[in-house]
Structure 1
């Protein structure tokens, strides 16, 4: 990560906080209280014991947008959580992905998780996983469906 942010030692943490802010807003918009550890992390805490954040790449839609001559950077966010309704109790888990162009983060907050520790911002070398090899494929299924639709359109129009 230090190679990506060579002049800013806090760069990886800032990127993580960008994603956490986005996820916190998504939790609030569905009516749940944002977990305290997310707020604490936004306020400078170094860790979030119940969180896993994994960076990924997925070029499926990006490549089809490029073939069609369309700007391939677009923000996408999907989520899953339980319970489905805040009136049914406190938040038990929240998984989401946030993707901009070909790169994104898969986020998971789990109320009963042990120290997950698999977070990209505090590692010297960070793997960028292929989205197809990560859990919760249902979060990304719409993107894969869209990519297939764009591919069919591009093929029919003879685009290289």
Structure 2
């Protein structure tokens, strides 16, 4: 069930990169969906591959830490069984020990991590820009409203005067 072959690792990396992008674009939902079994395996492979690449010296610790953080966020975007994920991860890590992983696989994985970091940074910057634009718009509208000429109408009813400014 957990036999890993080099081509499978490459295919899973590509699928995991697409899955990662999808998770970035989807955002938060009110109720988390149950994680499918193939996603357990994909996430376990990504985490085990990060460990393997670091142990071989093909990936720096900072990139591996980013990979693990992304993996943890992706896990937490689903309703999942932590014990089942740990089983998948343990079996995948065990199988990965006897699987040859060359530098090109780790390099491609590192690139996918860097791309995700850039996508998230871009999304964050766009959110900040939108917030700044909204604030500038609100300030402009308030300034226009404050600068507009005002007319005051007063009505005298008996001994009481009521005034309204428009």
Could you say whether these structures have the same fold, taking a TM-score greater than 0.5 normalized by the shorter chain as the test? no
TM-score (norm 2): 0.25
Structure number having the greater strand percentage? 1
TM-score (norm 1): 0.25
Structure number having the greater helix percentage? 2
- Work out which of the two has the higher radius of gyration on C-alpha atoms and give 1 or 2: 2
